[in-house]
């Protein structure tokens, strides 16, 4: 999560919402990293989770990320929660819940929806205060 927080800070420095993500394989090796790049790249899908999942899939040579863990500094949105399910990530770890757009328990719970074909283990609240502080500072400076 510390590496994801560093990536989130880098996103903020580029004017993007400070969210960072890291994918680790079953051995604990980092195989994908990402940070929000929507503003920098003018890409609506440039969310940290999607960027990290793409990099991890490239590293493995497969879209199936079974046995991998996605660590992200904020509860994923609906797009990113869908990408978690589609990629078959085994575990999702995130910081604070996102009451405005969260799709892992706040507004929706996409990753635990029994109608879908995959449901990862979920761990929430990891270094939540540190991530929340980054977000508060970012939005305070953009108001």
For the entire predicted model, the pTM comes to: 0.96
Confidence (pLDDT) at 143: 73
Query: What domains, with CATH codes, occur in the chain?
Result: 1-135 (3.40.140.10)
The yes-or-no answer on residue 137 being catalytic is: no
Q: Where are the beta strands (DSSP E) in the chain?
A: 20-24, 30-35, 69-72, 91-94, 121-123
Residue 102, pLDDT > 80, answer yes
The residue assigned the tokens 């575990």 is 91
Residue 77 marked as a ligand binder: yes
> What does the alpha-carbon distance between residue 113 and residue 124 come to, in Å, rounded to a whole number?
17
The 10s digit of each residue's pLDDT in 50-83 is 999 999 999 999 999 999 999 999 999 999 999 9
The 10s digit of each residue's pLDDT in 13-26 is 999 999 999 999 99
Residue 49, pLDDT > 90, answer yes
Residue 93, pLDDT > 90, answer yes
List the catalytic residue out of 39, 49, 55, 121: 49
Question: Which pLDDT band, with edges at 50, 70 and 90, does 6 fall under?
Answer: very high
Confidence (pLDDT) at 142: 81
């Amino acid at each position: 999560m510390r590496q994801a927080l560093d990536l989130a800070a880098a996103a903020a420095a580029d004017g993007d919402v400070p969210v960072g993500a890291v994918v680790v394989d079953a051995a604990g090796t980092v195989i994908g990293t990402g940070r929000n790049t929507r503003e920098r790249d003018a890409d609506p899908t440039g969310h940290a989770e999607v960027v990290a999942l793409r990099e991890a899939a490239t590293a493995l040579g497969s879209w199936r990320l079974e046995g991998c863990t996605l660590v992200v500094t904020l509860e994923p949105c609906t797009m990113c929660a869908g990408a978690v399910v589609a990629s078959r990530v085994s575990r999702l770890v995130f910081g604070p819940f996102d009451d405005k757009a969260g799709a892992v328990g706040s507004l929706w719970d996409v990753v635990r929806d029994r109608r879908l074909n995959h449901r990862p283990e979920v761990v929430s609240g990891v270094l939540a205060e540190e991530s929340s502080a980054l977000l508060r500072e970012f939005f305070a400076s953009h108001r």
